[in-house]
Amino acid sequence: MLKKHIHLLKKTKLKPSEQAHEIHRCQLCSDWPQTPSSELKCHLVQMFKDETSSAKLATFTCACCAESALHADCVIASPDDFDLSLLHRPDHQNDQHIFNDYFDKDCPLPQLPFSELDSPLHDLMINPAGVRQSDTGKFQLLLCSLCHKKLNKGK
């Protein structure tokens, strides 16, 4: 059946616009495959190296969601930049026990990373891998852009 269709196509006369299209198609088929220029090859190799370099693929841990993300998505924020009560333990608000039954009484409470009472990060549920200290000794939070946006909106 396919042979009949091809044979029929060869016998029929093409309109001038179809002939131009057919000539162009045949020209493309005869020229294919074309080898890319050495400049294009070098450019593509360099783009690949740039996008797969160790620096480009380096990751960090978000202090808020604990997800690993690319450094290009990292926002360094000070704890003073937003309302830290958003990150407090759900059973503590302003160092007061609100929900006494939040945790199961038969299970030990989780150890939070910043348990020092004088720490500005006291009782915050954050990942310590996403926290660093600046040269001045102040804490900095490494946040992914989504968490940073949500914390700035107070969510």
**Domain ranges within the chain, ordered by starting residue:** 57-89+115-152
Under 8 Å between Cβ of 151 and 141? no
Tell me the per-residue pLDDT of 37-58, one tens digit each, with 9 for 90 and over: 899 999 999 999 998 889 889 9
Region 104-119: mean pLDDT is 71
**What is the predicted pLDDT for the residue at 14?**
63
User: Residue 143 pLDDT more than 70?
Assistant: yes
Q: Which two tokens stand for residue 97?
A: 């026990």
Under 8 Å between Cβ of 140 and 77? yes
| CA–CA–CA angle 142, 147, 153 (5° rounding) | 120
**What is the predicted pLDDT for the residue at 38?**
92
Q: Which of 5-9, 76-80, 109-113, 143-147 has the highest mean pLDDT?
A: 143-147
User: Residue 99 pLDDT more than 60?
Assistant: no
Of the chain, the percentage scoring pLDDT greater than 90 comes to 23
| Residue 4, CA atoms < 13 Å, CB-side half-sphere | 1
**What is the predicted pLDDT for the residue at 5?**
62
User: Residue 125 pLDDT more than 70?
Assistant: yes
Q: Which two tokens stand for residue 34?
A: 């074309």
Residue with tokens 């400049």: 39
